[in-house]
Structure 1
Amino acid sequence: MSLKQYHKKRDFNKTSEPNSGKAKTSGKLQFVIQKHDATRLHYDFRLEMNGVLKSWAIPKGPSTDPKTKRLAMMVEDHPFDYKNFEGIIPKGEYGGGTVIVWDQGTYEPIEKIRGKKAQEKYLLEQLHSGSLKIILHGSKLKGEYALVKTNGMGENGWLLIKHKDDYASTTDITKKDKSVLSEKTIKQVEKTSDKVWQNGHEQVESIEISTDVKTLLKKAKKSKIPIGMKPMLATLVDEPFDDPNWIYEVKWDGYRSLGYCLKNGDVQLLSRNNKQFNEKFYPIFQILQSWKQNMVVDGEILVINDKGISNFGALQNWRSEADGELVYYVFDLIWYDGRDLTDLPLSKRQEILAEVLPQNDDRVRLSQIFKASGTEFFKAAIKMGLEGIIAKKADSLYTKNNRSKDWLKIKANKRQEVVVVGFTKNDDTPREFSSLLLGVYENGHLHYVGKVGTGFNDLAQKEMMAQFRPLITNKSPFSEIPDVNKPSRFRPNPPKTKVTWLKPELVCEVAFAEVTDDGVFRHPSFQGMRVDKKAKDVIRETEIETKAIVENDMKDNTIKPPKATGRKTLLNPKDETQVRKIKGHELKFTHLSKLYWPEDGVSKREMFNYYYQVADYILPYLKDRPMSLNRFPGGIHSKGFYQKDVREIAPDWADTFPYTTGDGEHKEYLLGNDEAALLWMASLGCIEMNPWFSRSQSPDNPDYCVIDLDPDKNTFDQVIQVAQMVKEVLDQIKIPCYAKTSGSTGMHIYIPLAAKYDYDQSQMFAKIIVNLVHQQVPEFTTLERMVANRKGKMYLDFLQNRPGATIACPYSLRPKPGATVSMPLAWDEVKPGMTMDDFTIFNAVDRIKETGDLFKGALGKGIDLTAAINKAKNVFG
């Protein structure tokens, strides 16, 4: 069955095309150091100047000894796009070999010089004089350095010398040999990279396979891809053991999954019983599609928490990346490029797997192997809170469709898959059910093993009842009806309960303390439903006795927990209606494929995902602020309307602010206090976020003064020109200011006030500033509020500084073609050539991660308004 028919998820991390010229940076000069394995191992040192990366070569690399830091000046320049400077370089291109980005960051002259262009000019002059002093802010190189030209050595006479204060360090930082981008070494890139860096561009090339692995593959028999097989299973044993002929792995608490991949992009992600996981775990499926390799891998899909521990309950409830960090741990290779590897020893399969498995996305990882003491490794697993360990014979073959004693599992806690055969409901409970009735198969017959009444919340119960209803039956699935409500010493008088039987088709997992003599689980706790297993396959697992064979010193008892990845998206790309719990409140998102920006193909789903991703950045500008809801429920081309009073529509949990307007109207404003409020507004069709300038604690005192540059028939370059003039005026009177695009046609400039002055004072100060600017360019600016009187000129709007007025806040989307964002800017970005289309829903998240919040100063220490006005009088008369 072809798997090419899937809904392709929009990439919110879209950036500018590789090598398209200058990268958008935070306004600081960049440096890059590449580690290059060509004819000899060396380091390429690149400094950005005039938008390109000037290059030197460091033969031995930076260390603590300044004498080793000789550089040879090279003549080639590279477009500033260092993220493409990693991969395999073909022979004949820059010496060939493999290259990684060893370090990267920003740099600046030691002397205090304002402005990027001024810094570049100064640095070039210093470079030509033969001595350049700089401060490096890298991941590995930090502090003051001098780049010095020595006499008598020609082009090879450059030294990079570390400041003497740091000479006390004895650490050779070249030992830190991993890339700061991919965290790979040269060897790892050589093994796993499918990227080729050629003339500054990345191209797809097949993975280079070592001679040893090629020899191993020749020993494997030719075979078609093994569609329909079931994986090899492990046998449960009662205790860990030590044996040098066995290796150990973490027992992951997830769903076993086989990944079938073909070069043409045809991919299957299947459970152990051949159920499709393609849509359920779509991020992993999409990664496998990108591999373009012929291979079948065996692994475990899990959700990890921030401590790196897997959580089966979170996996069972996983619907989108908002529900947890999804990871696929791959531990075996079954078939590769037309060869059946199952007859090769495990150690050889793992050797091949380590070389051919693509590892350029952290959500697919090679499972770590431990050649160690099994007993000590088991203790380490318990200490970390893991489910247990797996022991495997190093020379074991892969036996498909079979449970083998060559693979053993040792559990830290007692757990078992069970069949859900019914449920009970007590007379006095409002819940959907009180407990689940459980069974397992023994010798082909279903046996009762007890009931479980803990481990599920109300939402989980509702979802489970939707699964139960089609299976309700009047007939018990047991040959003898068990007493499901018999008294015990703990509950001598159990409550009256009604039993509802189900057809034995669903499977769940429970943890328990022990098994009683009559085979019933004691103190069971529900862990989650199992969609990957068939009820008929659920048999009672009985531990087999095992003995330690050989004591062996522990070589490595350190289990490295998986890293939790960053926040991704809230909603999955398939379901049209989804319910998510945000800050403890259930929010319903509907009609998710509806295009809000039809020309750009951007849907409601993508809007919700955007606001979820930028919540940490936008919420400081919404918290405690009354919101004017500008609603576009039909998308950007529908008729929008403002709603300020939310008394009739706000959910019970929402924070609101009662306020009487100047006209005597009583309104209840929503406060943008948290992520739930943000996403609830978005669910109403609030494409943009419009908070007050003041907070509910000080409604008459704004936190900032705003100057709104509103063009008419002006070009955006003229808007930029005026913004620079506003900055120059404020610089002369020593007043800080922060710029952002409006996301529409103009720009906004904020001046921090920290709620120390009222709106009238703020408006008066804004009027002073715009008057000074207008006097300089009266030919294309105006202070006329009425559009008809502006005569096509740019309006310098100071009247926004009034109670209840709002403009789109930083990081807000705008209901405009292009899906633009109101984006904070570094002042050296405010220059001709910048356009509104530079900042959209497609690249905003990526930019914000790179720059951080450039606008936070607008919420900082407020200016001294009286001093500022007096200074303006002295400077401008």
Structure 2
Amino acid sequence: MKPMLPTLAFEPPMGEEWSYEVKYDGFRAFLEWEQEIKLTSRNGKSLAEIFPEITEFLQASKEALKPFLPLLLDAELVDLANSYKADFGSIQVRGRMRSAERIRERASKRPCRLIVFDVLELKGENYRNHPQNARRKVLEDFFAETGFPSFPDPDSPSLLQLVPSENDFRSVWDQVILHDGEGLVAKHQETLWEEGKRTDRWIKFKNFKFVNCFVTAYEKSNGYFYVSVYKGEAIYSLGAVLFGFKPDEKAALFQIIKANQSHEDDRFIYVEPAICLEVKYLEIYEQQMREPHFHQFRFDLKPGDCTFDLFARQQRNLPQDVEITHPDKPIWEDPLIQKSDFIQYLRGISPFMLPFLQNRLLTVIRFPHGMLGEAFYQKNCPDYAPEFIETSMSEGINYIVCNDLKTLMWLGNQIAIEYHIPFQTIGRSGPDEIVFDLDPPSRDCFHLAIRAAILIKEVLDQLNLQSFIKTSGNKGLQIYIPLPADMYTYEDTRLFTSFIANYLVSKEPDSFTIERLKKHRGNRLYVDYVQHAEGKTIICPFSPRGKQQASVAAPLFWDEVNEDLRIGDFTVLNMIDRINKLGSPFADYFQVKETQKLAPVLDFLRHEGKKST
């Protein structure tokens, strides 16, 4: 069976008759299950042997799916990088595998997922002639009844997931941009499913990147223009571009190359760097641009303006309404980190950091001259802030609220290095989490923070409370216990934090103290349970710190909390690679919030308190 295909457009369709779905870069697949499971590609080839984890998962879920057989679902087979992006390179490697042993090993370590976006048959009923909105309702009901995830989730054990459909273009597109996704597909609500047809009622709109480059050659056999940038003094090839030219633009470019050629061989006409173009593309794959399209001539540029450094900065799109000034300004000297590197860190970490900044009064520490200059706290939003900056007034202070990427990028351009947030979101008086701040007297006593964290984790596990841990980015550790919204007061949580603090002191009084006066603490770690209160703040997860080594308040996996742990190992330079390799230790933080059961613990502590009095 041939799939129905979308048409590429450079402007998304708008209107109430359109819905929007995230587009994922994988293998188009049909899941057919009548007597047996069939997983086939768009060319009719079986994918079951290359992706055995899918069929095994479906077989294990047969009881949930049995009432809906026979079924035929239209889907994408993906290796999810995050909920809005699939890893194109990884799925290509997987698709080329032929060794059963290697396939099995990969399937075990990094299982792919089948994400479904359309239903053609269910319970044997044919839905192809039903309009898009009707098919969508059937599909959503199917996922609700079977209990499979209604949203792509790389951390879910379920390998069958639904691609959501939204009516608001902006809400979907903002998430695609934030997570560096491939793009989206707009679907007309009245569209029927037509086999093998490329339709203009399914429109794909892609998240293109832009690069300034110069032409180096023309390939005579196929009309491709080869483009490059300067990497130092060397010419660095980005690949070739064919599409996007109007006929007169293509003809004019060819004539210029032919008239100014440096030399020619059987395959190419070569030209010295002179003609500058702006090209849009999806991503770099195997050192070449994927899906490059000509965008415009750049007569205002010289070849020397087209550099690898600028190209590297443009790899992740920045919001157009945020200008990055003085990108070469050094922020840290050792390691050398320029402002552009810092901005790229914030851009890369934004999908993980922004959820913790969401709807919270923000205090930043700015370093306008880098680590060598004076720093200052900023709470009030400055008068020169652009109109898109959200604010919230509290106790006479007009705080910035960083709810989106462009606000974070603007703050980064202001060289706001540290991001401090309260324990509650705007409009709430109670905390959204409990945080234990384990702050040793010096870096030499970091082992005390590790010991305290391990002891606290043992207690929390016994109480069936799920916890997360991060470095402070300075000299300590911080343990988070996420809480359901509007469930507890600070008085409630003080009961619990004081219990934990006193437990630590009673367990190892030579190591821990709740003494507030520094002169009486000695070399013991101060367990500050009083700091967890309304109006107090803590460093945001993933925030850089204004320290010489460019350290980060880094979320950790609990098994990393041991004697080998070093705060300096987590920096602006390596955090993105760490998350790409290992994932985020706080990935399910907000799911845990909704299920955390602190009430039984508090009831017990209140009961014990009454008994003691």
TM-score range, shorter chain: 0.5 to 0.7
Normalized against structure 1, the TM-score is what?
0.38
Q: Is the 8 A contact 1:592 1:605 kept in 2?
A: yes
Which of 581, 599, 604 is matched with 1:866 structurally? 599
Which of 539, 546, 571 is matched with 1:815 structurally? 546
- Report the Cα offset of residue 648 of structure 1: 2.5
Q: CA separation of 1:749/1:283 partners in 2, compared to 1, >3 Å: closer, same or farther?
A: farther
Please name the residue that 2:327 is paired with.
592
Which of 663, 678, 686 is matched with 2:416 structurally? 686
Task: For 2:369 and 2:494, locate their aligned partners in 1 and report how far apart those are by CA, in whole Å.
Answer: 36
My pick for the range that moved more, 715-724 or 735-744, is: 715-724
- Report the Cα offset of residue 799 of structure 1: 2.3
Q: How does 1:28-47 map to 2 (within 5 A)?
A: none
Q: Is the 8 A contact 1:760 1:801 kept in 2?
A: no
Secondary structure at the aligned position of 2:496 is classed as: helix
1:426-453 alpha-carbon deviations (Å, 9 max, x no partner): xxxxxxxxxxxxxxxxxxxxxxxxxxxx
Q: Is the 8 A contact 2:471 2:556 kept in 1?
A: yes
Answering whether residue 351 of structure 2 is matched by residue 621 of structure 1, we say: no
Please name the residue that 1:374 is paired with.
none
Task: For 1:101 and 1:689, locate their aligned partners in 2 and report how far apart those are by CA, in whole Å.
Answer: 47
Answering whether residue 297 of structure 2 is matched by residue 529 of structure 1, we say: yes
Please name the residue that 2:200 is paired with.
none
Please name the residue that 2:309 is paired with.
573
Q: CA separation of 1:341/1:783 partners in 2, compared to 1, >3 Å: closer, same or farther?
A: same
Q: CA separation of 1:814/1:830 partners in 2, compared to 1, >3 Å: closer, same or farther?
A: same
Please name the residue that 2:447 is paired with.
717
Task: For 2:381 and 2:439, locate their aligned partners in 1 and report how far apart those are by CA, in whole Å.
Answer: 30
Please name the residue that 1:199 is paired with.
none
Q: How does 1:60-99 map to 2 (within 5 A)?
A: none
Amino acid at match of 2:583: G
Answering whether residue 230 of structure 2 is matched by residue 278 of structure 1, we say: yes
Q: How does 1:337-352 map to 2 (within 5 A)?
A: 342=265
Q: CA separation of 1:366/1:791 partners in 2, compared to 1, >3 Å: closer, same or farther?
A: closer
- Report the Cα offset of residue 706 of structure 1: 0.5
Please name the residue that 1:790 is paired with.
521
Please name the residue that 1:469 is paired with.
none
Please name the residue that 1:846 is paired with.
577
Amino acid at match of 2:390: D
Q: CA separation of 1:301/1:691 partners in 2, compared to 1, >3 Å: closer, same or farther?
A: farther
Q: CA separation of 1:874/1:137 partners in 2, compared to 1, >3 Å: closer, same or farther?
A: farther
Please name the residue that 2:430 is paired with.
701
Q: How does 1:634-713 map to 2 (within 5 A)?
A: 634-646=369-381, 648-660=383-395, 666-698=396-428, 700-713=429-442
Q: Is the 8 A contact 1:656 1:671 kept in 2?
A: yes
Task: For 1:800 and 1:654, locate their aligned partners in 2 and report how far apart those are by CA, in whole Å.
Answer: 29
Which of 226, 232, 240 is matched with 1:300 structurally? 240
Q: CA separation of 1:141/1:362 partners in 2, compared to 1, >3 Å: closer, same or farther?
A: closer
Secondary structure at the aligned position of 1:688 is classed as: strand
- Report the Cα offset of residue 137 of structure 1: 4.2
Q: CA separation of 1:776/1:600 partners in 2, compared to 1, >3 Å: closer, same or farther?
A: same
Task: For 2:216 and 2:364, locate their aligned partners in 1 and report how far apart those are by CA, in whole Å.
Answer: 54
Secondary structure at the aligned position of 2:230 is classed as: coil
Q: CA separation of 1:874/1:824 partners in 2, compared to 1, >3 Å: closer, same or farther?
A: farther
Which of 251, 256, 271 is matched with 2:226 structurally? 256
Q: How does 1:429-448 map to 2 (within 5 A)?
A: none
Normalized against structure 2, the TM-score is what?
0.54
Q: CA separation of 1:730/1:366 partners in 2, compared to 1, >3 Å: closer, same or farther?
A: closer
Q: Which runs of 5+ in 2 are unaligned?
A: 1-49, 54-98, 115-214, 250-260, 270-283
Q: CA separation of 1:285/1:842 partners in 2, compared to 1, >3 Å: closer, same or farther?
A: farther
- Report the Cα offset of residue 841 of structure 1: 1.6
Q: Is the 8 A contact 2:465 2:598 kept in 1?
A: no
Amino acid at match of 1:256: Y
Q: CA separation of 1:871/1:599 partners in 2, compared to 1, >3 Å: closer, same or farther?
A: same
Amino acid at match of 2:579: I
Task: For 2:113 and 2:321, locate their aligned partners in 1 and report how far apart those are by CA, in whole Å.
Answer: 47
Which of 336, 345, 354 is matched with 1:601 structurally? 336
Q: CA separation of 1:100/1:754 partners in 2, compared to 1, >3 Å: closer, same or farther?
A: same
Q: How does 1:819-838 map to 2 (within 5 A)?
A: 819-838=550-569
Q: CA separation of 1:682/1:786 partners in 2, compared to 1, >3 Å: closer, same or farther?
A: farther
Q: Is the 8 A contact 2:389 2:400 kept in 1?
A: yes
Answering whether residue 473 of structure 2 is matched by residue 743 of structure 1, we say: yes
Q: Is the 8 A contact 1:716 1:745 kept in 2?
A: yes
Secondary structure at the aligned position of 1:690 is classed as: strand
Q: Is the 8 A contact 1:625 1:671 kept in 2?
A: yes
Amino acid at match of 2:493: S
Amino acid at match of 2:240: E
Q: Is the 8 A contact 1:688 1:815 kept in 2?
A: yes
Please name the residue that 1:408 is paired with.
none
Task: For 2:558 and 2:403, locate their aligned partners in 1 and report how far apart those are by CA, in whole Å.
Answer: 29
Amino acid at match of 2:416: C
Task: For 2:235 and 2:391, locate their aligned partners in 1 and report how far apart those are by CA, in whole Å.
Answer: 43
Please name the residue that 2:27 is paired with.
none
- Report the Cα offset of residue 606 of structure 1: 0.9
Q: CA separation of 1:597/1:787 partners in 2, compared to 1, >3 Å: closer, same or farther?
A: farther
Which of 257, 279, 287 is matched with 1:364 structurally? 287
Superposed CA RMSD:
4.7
Task: For 1:533 and 1:740, locate their aligned partners in 2 and report how far apart those are by CA, in whole Å.
Answer: 46
1:326-377 alpha-carbon deviations (Å, 9 max, x no partner): xxxxxxxx99xxxx9935899xxxxxxxxxxxxxx7253499xxxxxxxxxx
Secondary structure at the aligned position of 2:515 is classed as: coil
Secondary structure at the aligned position of 1:608 is classed as: helix
Q: CA separation of 1:705/1:386 partners in 2, compared to 1, >3 Å: closer, same or farther?
A: closer
1:568-603 alpha-carbon deviations (Å, 9 max, x no partner): xxx97369x99x9954x6223223222211121112
Question: What percentage of residue pairs aligned between the two structures are identical?
Answer: 28
Task: For 1:287 and 1:345, locate their aligned partners in 2 and report how far apart those are by CA, in whole Å.
Answer: 15
Please name the residue that 1:729 is paired with.
459
1:712-731 alpha-carbon deviations (Å, 9 max, x no partner): 14532332111010100111
Amino acid at match of 2:431: P
- Report the Cα offset of residue 650 of structure 1: 2.9
1:23-58 alpha-carbon deviations (Å, 9 max, x no partner): xxxxxxxxxxxxxxxxxxxxxxxxxxxxxxxxxxxx
Q: Is the 8 A contact 1:103 1:140 kept in 2?
A: no
Q: CA separation of 1:573/1:797 partners in 2, compared to 1, >3 Å: closer, same or farther?
A: farther
Q: Is the 8 A contact 1:650 1:670 kept in 2?
A: no
Task: For 2:369 and 2:581, locate their aligned partners in 1 and report how far apart those are by CA, in whole Å.
Answer: 33
- Report the Cα offset of residue 809 of structure 1: 1.1
Q: CA separation of 1:750/1:651 partners in 2, compared to 1, >3 Å: closer, same or farther?
A: same
Task: For 1:720 and 1:826, locate their aligned partners in 2 and report how far apart those are by CA, in whole Å.
Answer: 13
Q: How many equivalent pairs are there?
A: 383
- Report the Cα offset of residue 654 of structure 1: 0.9
Please name the residue that 1:90 is paired with.
none
- Report the Cα offset of residue 751 of structure 1: 0.6
Q: Is the 8 A contact 2:495 2:602 kept in 1?
A: no
Task: For 1:824 and 1:632, locate their aligned partners in 2 and report how far apart those are by CA, in whole Å.
Answer: 24
Q: CA separation of 1:857/1:766 partners in 2, compared to 1, >3 Å: closer, same or farther?
A: farther
Q: How does 1:213-292 map to 2 (within 5 A)?
A: 231=217, 256-257=226-227, 269=228, 277-278=229-230, 285=235
Task: For 1:345 and 1:574, locate their aligned partners in 2 and report how far apart those are by CA, in whole Å.
Answer: 27
Task: For 1:680 and 1:764, locate their aligned partners in 2 and report how far apart those are by CA, in whole Å.
Answer: 40
Task: For 2:268 and 2:235, locate their aligned partners in 1 and report how far apart those are by CA, in whole Å.
Answer: 28
- Report the Cα offset of residue 696 of structure 1: 1.4
- Report the Cα offset of residue 803 of structure 1: 2.0
Amino acid at match of 2:370: G
For the pair shown, which has the larger CA radius of gyration, 1 or 2? Answer: 1
Please name the residue that 1:192 is paired with.
none
Secondary structure at the aligned position of 1:719 is classed as: helix
Secondary structure at the aligned position of 2:386 is classed as: coil
Secondary structure at the aligned position of 1:816 is classed as: coil
